[in-house]
């Protein structure tokens, strides 16, 4: 009985996690596309290293302002969530390989 409720709780937790992740990705997609397009154009004129630094800073500021005033939240929360999600996937993958 306890195992069944744990499995059900886990599935509900994963579904809510997926919904949160999908909403965050939907909010971040325009910034990823815009950053990619401007990065390609800037690389042609200014070089790779300069483009990475400047383009990242510009799009970070744009995404922060849009998140703050349009979504009424700080974009830092979304970024923290994405980083935590990615790190948890990496850790679980590493644990899986160690068990072999």
| One-character DSSP codes across 13-56 | HHHHHHHHHHHHHHHHHHHHHHHHHHHHHHHHHH-HHHHHHHHH
Q: What is the pLDDT of residue 4?
A: 43
Separation between Cα atoms, residue 47 and residue 19, nearest integer Å: 39
Which parts of the chain register pLDDT below 70? 1-17, 74-75, 96-100
Q: Where are the domains of the chain?
A: 2-99
pLDDT of residue 11: 46
Q: Is 80 helix (H, G, I), strand (E, B) or coil?
A: helix
Q: What is the pTM of this model?
A: 0.58
pLDDT for the residue numbered 3: 45
pLDDT of residue 26: 82
In this predicted structure, what is the pLDDT of residue 58? 92
Whole-angstrom distance, CA of residue 36 vs CA of residue 30? 10
């Amino acid at each position: 009985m306890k195992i069944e409720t744990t499995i059900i709780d886990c599935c509900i937790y994963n579904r809510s996690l997926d919904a949160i992740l999908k909403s965050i990705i939907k909010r971040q997609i325009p910034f990823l596309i815009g950053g990619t397009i401007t990065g390609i154009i800037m690389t042609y004129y200014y070089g790779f290293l300069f483009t990475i630094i400047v383009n990242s800073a510009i799009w970070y500021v744009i995404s922060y302002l849009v998140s703050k005033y349009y979504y009424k939240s700080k974009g830092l929360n979304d970024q923290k969530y994405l980083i935590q999600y990615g790190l948890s996937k990496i850790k679980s993958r590493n644990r899986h390989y160690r068990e072999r």
